[in-house]
Structure 1
Amino acid sequence: MNRSLKIAGVILSVFAFFTSCDEETLGENAFGTLKGKVVINGDNMPLGNVKITTNPVSTTVFTDNQGEFTISDIQIGDYSVQAELDEYETAFEPANILEGKISQVVFELDSLKARNLSPKSPVLLAPIDEAEGVKPDVTFIWSSSKNDDDDILYTLQLRNGETNEITIFERVQDTTITVKDLAIGKVYFWQVTATDDVTTPVQSEISSFRVQGTSANSYLFVRNIDGKNVIFSGGDGTEGDQNVIRISSLQSNSYRPRKNNDTDKVAFLRTVGAETHLFTMDPDGSNVRQLTSTIPVAGFRQSAVDFSWAANGGAIYYPNFDKLYRVNPDGGGSVMVYQTPDGSLISEVDVAELDQDLLLLKTNDLSGYNVRIFTYRLSTGSEETVVLENVTGGAGSIDISANGDKILYNLDTSGAENSVYRLFSSRIFIYYTSTAIVTQVETGVATGQNDYDGRFSPSEGSIIFSRSNNTNNAIPSVLRVNLDGQNDEGLLFSEAYMPDWH
């Protein structure tokens, strides 16, 4: 009997083994169907082209225009079904696939835009609306538009109110940006747009401001910026460096500004290649025009040459070695008007405002010495008054009064002469043509300092001039002094030289 039970047990075990193998084979070959629909959450509008995938992996399909999809012959079992479409939040739904049955799923997708908060409208903080006298290098500041976890990008739109030229600075991440070299004296309008790249962009209100102008300024001067001479305009003030505005390019070497009120133009010298040429521009630095081309401005050293407007603005006189030329403000009509008889170099020229026939000239040798300063009558072609000659040392910075009765110049009273034209004790003097008397202008200059670049004020009651220590690479300043001795000395501009009246 025991033997019979053992045999029966073996038979049952074998039967169970084959039975289990048949069940697994049947499961792997059992399939059903998965159907579904995808709509927008809230309004139930169908969504087409939604990507449908499953885990475990089966067939990938896309919804039709009605938002519907079908996966046929999908193996039975439990699945996680995924619905994915750009600009919508990906959704998952469970599905149990039964043999020969149709399983249904429905997806309600949330729009990312609908769930996302729009940025807040930026608030413009600086410059404030209708601000006046804003510096040409403007730092724009606005409030953050952040309203959720999204990153915000800003676009600044800037419009010149005169030309309507629009400049756009796109996709700025910060809430501030600096824009340089805006047009002097012009009104600008600005607006900021914020976007999170999901919702509709939002805009700030429009604000305006005016860039500071030069119309109220009294002076022109030069500064060295990164090795180049650059022309500036500046105003009066007890503390100095008031309303300083750059009016020439940082990319060019421009110097020796001279303003003519009849034409409302500033003439100046600019390096062009290996030569120096005459240019003009408006007082705000616009409308730059080159006057000379074939005959450049030239002398024993370019930093020491000077030119002069005819008082009515109808011509400009300038030196070219031993010759003096006159050119029209449009660059035409160039003609030689004088040549030194001994081959000495003409370094400077000035014209009496009320006597257009009278020129003031400074000549020197190739080293800048053996200086002669004298007046020359154009109509007669003759010298009239010798102001300075037969002296040792450097001299120059000539300026003649309106009616020609006073002549301003500087002279190195040390009498030193050297190969680098270094001055040791330059002082400013006035020569009175009616009496031939020379007086030194009391400027408060100290031992070891040089005064030079003197210019009469329009009223001739004061002068402006440059001052620096007599050491190499000394940093100069521009000062003003009254000729009556009252309120004797005042700093106008630091790190400045070659001044003129605006």
Structure 2
Amino acid sequence: MKNYILNCFLAVCIMFVVTSCSEEPIDENVFGTLTGKVVTNGENTPLTNVKISSSPVSTTVFTDDLGNFTIENIQIGEYSFQAELTEYQTAFEAVNIIEGKTTNVVFELNTDDANNVAPIVSVLKFPEDGAEDVNTQVQFSWSSAKNDDDEINYTLELRNGSTSEVTTYNEIKDTTFLVDNLAVGNNYIWQISADDGVNDVVKSELGGFVTSGIDANRFLYVRELDGNNVIFSGANPIGESDEELDQNEVQLTSATLNSYRPIKNTTVNKIAFLRTVGAETHIFTMNINGTDIKQVTSTVPVAGFRQDEIEFTWYNNGAKLYYTNFNKLYSINVDGSGIEEVYHAGSLFISEVAVNPTNNLVVIKTNNIDGYNAKISVVNVATDAEVEVVISGESGALGGLDFSADGTKVLYTRDMSAAENTAYRQLDSRIFEYDLSSNTTTEIDTDKASGTNDLDAKYSPDDGSIIFVNTSNDGVSEKRIYKTEEVNAVNKKKPLFTNAFMPNWE
């Protein structure tokens, strides 16, 4: 009896379970539809060919020309749909698909750069707005416009205030840029633009400056162009790198004529120089800007054993000039009149001459036809007397003659190698100073490198330093102009001009 009852109970339970399962079936064939549109955020411009997909995965479709799309027969349930298009940020929308219903969704897409930050406005640093006497070689500088990880390309626009010509320098990666050969004594306007490739270009405020005039150029020198010597004027460097030398350069003479050995006289504000005229060399004068060129000598030319070794000088407050013609020293008025022989050196050539403003003494260098057997002496041309011998009887070349402003010291160069050759090649030329009051000679330490020559030494206007040329003794390498500068009681040489020689500093 008990077994019968248990069997009946189990049968009832089984029937209940079967009945329950048949009442709640899982229908996998229940679907809904999704429609939608994709537009740009803000402007609501329809976007075509946008990829529409979902998670969990359903059918993938693309929008039409009006930005619309439709996905049918999507199994009911919760989905995350996404809209993807190149150059736009992917957008996501949660969607509930309902049986037999059509659900609609709108995607608003932002461009990839929608959250990008524009560059900040650069602040012009150098030259400052309103700056004057700016060198013609300018290292422009400005503050960074960087505001995020985007690379910034800068553009420098430079307008010449005289000609209104605009020069544009593009694709600058740094916040500094070097521009050289600006016009002397000119007004310029400049502006910096910053472009991150995403946002609109950002422009700085305008800045203006004026370059130095030629009056600021204290130096004269010579550079070879197209086979001729050409005279330039220039200003102090802004640093010691090659890019910071050759400041405010102005070419004063034509590259089609051979002009050299410039000497300025500040009293008459004129430059005297040598120029080749046919087979002869003559003295000319010009204004400090290279205008009003006039020939001084005519009947008696400048002549000696080597024309590039000959020096002349102003005297009598710029009213007269001393110059040499082989073994004779001549005086001539600056207008070319009053030529007069004032000193005779016998069988030796007079190659160099220097004076001082304190007394009437003249220092000369004499040498033989080959440039050797050289002697430097102080003479009184009024009495035709040799007052003092600075140096003589030494082998090798002498040169670079100058007289101190107070008339007590003589500057010169001497080739310590004592080499004598037909090419007049010097191997170890150094600078010396002779003190007339103590009759002592001192070598000027210029930190000269071995295998180089110091040449064409001249005093500064205040005698406080020396300007000179240094070059390799190979005779073909570049010549550079330096000046001595005392640093912590040690003489150092400071570069001034590249590829230059025959310096004059007034």
**Aligned match of 1:372:** 375
Whether 2:343 is the aligned partner of 1:338: answer yes
Contact 1:270 1:276 in 2 (8 A): yes
Instruction: Work out which of the residue numbers 327, 338, 342 in structure 1 matches 2:332.
Output: 327
Instruction: Work out which of the residue numbers 388, 391, 400 in structure 2 matches 1:388.
Output: 391
Contact 2:184 2:248 in 1 (8 A): no
Q: For 1:420 and 1:487, how far apart are their aligned partners in 2?
A: 32
**Aligned match of 1:407:** 410
**Aligned match of 2:471:** 468
**Aligned match of 2:436:** 433
Worse overlay, 437-446 or 208-217:
208-217
Contact 1:311 1:351 in 2 (8 A): no
Whether 2:277 is the aligned partner of 1:256: answer no
Shift of 1:250: 1.4
Shift of 1:183: 9.1
1:228-285 CA distances to partner (integer Å, 9 max, x unpaired)? Answer: 1111111112232211111111111111111111110111111111111101111111
**Aligned match of 2:457:** 454
**Aligned match of 1:69:** none
Shift of 1:449: 0.3
Counterpart of 1:459, as a letter, is D
Q: What are the residue-to-residue correspondences of 1:182-331 with 2, within 5 Å? A: 185=185, 213-237=213-237, 238-239=239-240, 240-331=245-336
Contact 1:184 1:284 in 2 (8 A): no
Contact 1:260 1:311 in 2 (8 A): no
SS at 1:336 equivalent: strand
Counterpart of 2:264, as a letter, is K
SS at 1:303 equivalent: helix
Moved over 4 A (4+): 129-137, 158-161, 174-177, 181-188, 208-212, 483-487
Q: What are the residue-to-residue correspondences of 1:125-204 with 2, within 5 Å? A: 185=185
CA distance 1:434–1:272, change in 2 (3 Å): same
**Aligned match of 1:34:** none
Whether 2:496 is the aligned partner of 1:489: answer no
1:410-437 CA distances to partner (integer Å, 9 max, x unpaired)? Answer: 0000000000100000000000011111
Q: For 2:407 and 2:363, how far apart are their aligned partners in 1?
A: 9
Shift of 1:482: 3.0
Counterpart of 1:226, as a letter, is D
Shift of 1:159: 12
Shift of 1:131: 10
Contact 1:346 1:363 in 2 (8 A): yes
Shift of 1:472: 2.7
Whether 2:364 is the aligned partner of 1:361: answer yes
CA distance 1:338–1:175, change in 2 (3 Å): closer
Gaps of at least 5 residues in structure 2 are 1-128, 138-159, 169-180, 189-207
CA distance 1:209–1:291, change in 2 (3 Å): farther
Shift of 1:481: 0.3
Gaps of at least 5 residues in structure 1 are 1-128, 138-157, 162-173, 189-207
1:108-147 CA distances to partner (integer Å, 9 max, x unpaired)? Answer: xxxxxxxxxxxxxxxxxxxxx999779999xxxxxxxxxx
1:179-238 CA distances to partner (integer Å, 9 max, x unpaired)? Answer: xx99964789xxxxxxxxxxxxxxxxxxx9977522112211111112111111111122
Contact 2:447 2:491 in 1 (8 A): no
Q: State the TM-score, normalizing by the size of structure 1.
A: 0.59
Q: State the TM-score, normalizing by the size of structure 2.
A: 0.59
CA distance 1:245–1:399, change in 2 (3 Å): same
* Paired positions, count: 325
Counterpart of 1:432, as a letter, is D
Q: For 1:467 and 1:213, how far apart are their aligned partners in 2?
A: 28
CA distance 1:442–1:209, change in 2 (3 Å): closer
SS at 2:308 equivalent: helix
Shift of 1:483: 6.2
Contact 1:311 1:352 in 2 (8 A): no
Query: Pairwise CA RMSD of aligned residues?
Result: 3.4
